[in-house]
Structure 1
Amino acid sequence: MTSTIIHEVRQNKPLIHHLTNQVVMNFTANGLLSFGGVPIMAKAAEEAGEMASNADGVLINIGTIMGNDLEAMIEAGKAANNKGIPVVLDPVGVGATSFRKEAIRQILKEITPTVIKGNAGEMARLVDIPWEIKGVDSVGKGNHDEIARKVAETYETVALVTGETDVMSDRNEMVYNRTGSAMLSNVTGTGCLLGSILTACLTTRHSTLDSSLAAAAFYGMAAEYTEKQDGVMGTGTFIPVFLDALSFSPEKLEGG
């Protein structure tokens, strides 16, 4: 299933509208291009809705959100909902400040995300489950299955809780991805780029849960492949090889 979904993305080259973290825009754009999608990043409220209407999917990431970004995110999300294209919401650091929490509350009041993706701390905060965080990072421990299920049920969506094992729930079923590399957690923006890859996979004809699992599994396989390469000595050498790996077929990654 993973291979079929990845090949379909590459055949279709979906246009993904990003309203995302300014820290990771370049990395995200290059990563999606390598993977096979087409990025566009338009954050002005005056055009966000129109841009989303012309796209195949929308990613909303609040990593560096400012007050004037919120209107654009909501406009883009509503336009995507009206068009019937996927919307991925990444509530980066939602538990860090009351401003972020209120921004996510407003976004979820106005739009219906296809998938909500985040680390355990972020996802737990969406459903009032106590969890230890440090800045935008999750450092606590607990039941990821419970978090995924409760987010999915509360917001009537698919929830993807990232971690050493990624947990996904659509309220009726729970699936897991165990591919990945610890080096991902040491590179800024890898979680944000996963959101972009995920949005691209959701544009295929497959179910939301299958597409989410394919995105997470492929992303993890690319990281595993990268970590094994002789020239990779740390995060600095990891990044360019990882960007290359995102362009490979699932079959090559599995054999590499």
Structure 2
Amino acid sequence: MERTLTLGIACLCLAPLFFWLGFGMVWWFTKDAGGGGEDRIAYGYFGVLGGLALAGIGIAILWYLSSRFLVLHSLRYLQIADAILIVGWLVYWAVNTAQEPQRLSYEGKWAALEIEVKAAKPLLAGSDIASAISMDYIGGQNSGNFPRSEAVRKEGEFLILPWATAPMYVDKWQMRVFLHNKPLLFPLDLPRLPTQSTDWSSWISPVQYQEYVIPADVQQKLTLRYRLRLVPATENFH
């Protein structure tokens, strides 16, 4: 019984590795094969079949060899290997779970991310701020964007454009702002799973996004601030 249980655990732990090895082999031999979308889908199915086939073959060989040549006094080594494999899979699961988008769920409440972008008038090149600037939440999944161009206000030489959204999942708290279609990135310093509403942040400057190099005047004269509100389910944006 002990031998059977030990072999069963080893097979279960190694089966995914055999599967991905088979899938990877099919991918390697077909990656330069070309073809259209239907061909790529077919290659994907072949990869799955190859992975399943290799997993079955690998388990069968492992079971046969272990059953035939594994003597009782060496069973302990296989049990140690089983323990190492189990710990490895648990670590793999924990790392992948930590990287999964965090769902924002609050009993009787929902999360509202409120943003204000402040831009110096010369940056707008004579355009209305709501036309010159647009933005989106790229840190996860959200439910609707709520630009509030009617609430634009002046602050000295600057114009301020309010905006809001309802984030549902968070991978990274990030806002992407477009100034005349040029992208800028604003990382937001918020907990992965906020437990309470926050005050307005200080005004922060953009960081480089992709290949676009931020001009010095934009770096200095376009800023953003944010806050997160946990809103009662009966309340809408206002």
TM-score (norm 1): 0.19
Structure with bigger helix share is: 1
Indicate the structure with greater strand content.
2
